[in-house]
Structures are given as structure tokens and as C-alpha cells.
Structure 1
Amino acid sequence: MSANSRLTIAAHTLAWIGLYQRQGHDVATSEQIATSANTNPVVIRRLLGELRKAGLVESRRGVGAGWSLTRELESITLLDVYDAVEPGPLFAMHRATPDQGCVVGYGIRPAMQHIYGGIEETLRAELARVTMEDVLLDVLAVPR
């Protein structure tokens, strides 16, 4: 299984737009962001669409087209970003119901749901305490 990078790419996108706007630019293009993230602009546009649905960014069409933040980085938490791009639970159960005649098959779902619930609560609490401003400040502090 490979790790999911959607939250990381979405945070990269928001931090990039935030810094770009602070440098005096009105909007950023998906191509500019994709260059920074070293990914395809289509990947960025899909994430930006989800971030727009969550009210974190807005787009401008026509001449001067691009994306901008709807709020300051200080008021966007990583939980906001996570909820925008990771709509499902952190962990999933079996696709098919395990054998209910087997002691493990019968008890695995309730046991794992209890464990996963605690992990998800902890994750959400940690993401809620970190703003995109915190992320950008950490990015800018990394020695080059």
C-alpha cells in the first residue's frame, strides 16, 4: 500500500498561494503551483476544486485567471484542508463481511472500529491545532 499524499499536496498548494499573494500577486495558476509541487497541473486543479467546494479558495476566469485564498492562512487549519480533500474515514473495514462464524471474523470489526476511532480523534485534534500560517512559517524556516 502506498501512502496518500493528497493532504500534503493540498497544504503545499495553499501555502504556495498564500506566499504568492503576500508577494503582491492577485491569483496563482495551477501550472505555477504544479511546478512547485513537481506534479501535473491536473492534479492541482482537482485539489483546488475540492478546496473551492470547502470555501478555502476561489477561482477567477478569463483574463487574469487563477486561484486565490478566501481566508488568511491564520484562519485555515490543517483539519479544514483534511476535511476538504479526505472526505472518508482514515481507515476502512473489510470490503466484504468477514466470516461471522469465526471468532476473529466476528469480532475484528468492532475491535478495529474502537481502535481506529481513537486514532481518528487524535489525528483530528492535532490537525485542528495547526494553521496553514504555521505550515508556511515552518516551510520558510527550513534551511536552504
Structure 2
Amino acid sequence: MRSQYAVAIHILSMIALNPQRTFSSEDLASSVGTHAVVIRSIVKLLRAAGLVETHQGVAGIHLTHKPEELTLLQVYRAVDAPESVFRLHERPNPQCSVGGNILDTLGSVFGGAQEVLDDYLAKVTLADVMSDLARRIG
């Protein structure tokens, strides 16, 4: 399964690097290497978060923010935040000394790790991604 987050950044990068071009979900799917249905589902999440706009019956997806104003944290929250990287298991045995306490322990550890991740992603913009891509593309 592809990361919706990585695909979302790929989609946004394609649009931002080619502002005069109108991309269809099929165009983006070709670049990502997936099916257009996957692209449409991710674009729907990005649109719901206010990061892109689309118009029914009109091809094209447009950014609603300048690349230097759009952080990777915003993208992460748009597509992956409900499914945090740091997930707890659901039903440890409460009668076990470890099982009865592990969720509180891991909740603290994972919460701290999520904060570090969020702080880092808040400092990286789509413009930073575009800059690195432009350097690699040549």
C-alpha cells in the first residue's frame, strides 16, 4: 500500500512545479505509478483540508496556497493524521503487569515522538521540496 502522504506531496509537487499546466487525475496517476482512483481519493482529502481546489466538470487541480506557505505538516494532517505513524495496539491484557500499563507508557513515548515529527514537518514547505526536486531534475 502506498503512503497517502508521499503521494499527496508528489501530487502537490507536480502541480507546483508546473503552474501553467492543467493536470488530470490520469496525468498524476501516471507520474505516481498508481490508478487515477487513488489520486482522486487523495485530492478529495487535500480539497477537504483546503489545500487544493477543483471545479466539477473542469479538468485541473490548483493549489490554494503558495508553495512557501504550505507546510508538510498541513499535508500530513490532511491525509494521514487520523492514522498517525505512532499507533497503539488495541487490547492488551489488563491482568498482565505489562499489558495493564503499556498503553500509558507508549502513549507518553509516542506522543513525544509525534510532537517532534510535527515540529519538523511544520518547518518544511512545499517550496523546500520543489527546490530539492529542481536540483535533482537539473
- What is the TM-score when the length of structure 1 is the normalising length? 0.88
1:61, distance to aligned residue in structure 2 (A): 2.7
Runs of 4+ in 1 over 4 A off after TM superposition: none
Moved more, 128-137 or 83-92: 83-92
- Tell me, yes or no, if structure 1 residue 130 matches structure 2 residue 124: yes
d(CA) in 1 for partners of 2:59, 2:70: 23
CA distance in 1, matches of 2:49, 2:15: 16
Equivalent of 2:45, from 47, 50, 53?
A: 50
Alignment partner of 1:18 out of 16, 19, 39: 16
Map of 1:1-144 to 2, 5 A cutoff? Answer: 5-21=3-19, 24-25=20-21, 27-62=22-57, 64-88=58-82, 89-96=84-91, 98-142=92-136
Q: Does the CA-based 8 Å contact 1:20-1:28 persist in structure 2?
A: no
TM superposition score normalised by structure 2: 0.92
Two-structure CA RMSD over aligned residues (Å): 1.6
Distance 1:7 1:94 in 2: 22
Identity of aligned residues (%): 39
**Structure 2 residue ranges without an equivalent (≥5):** none
1-side partners of 2:55 and 2:125: how far apart?
25
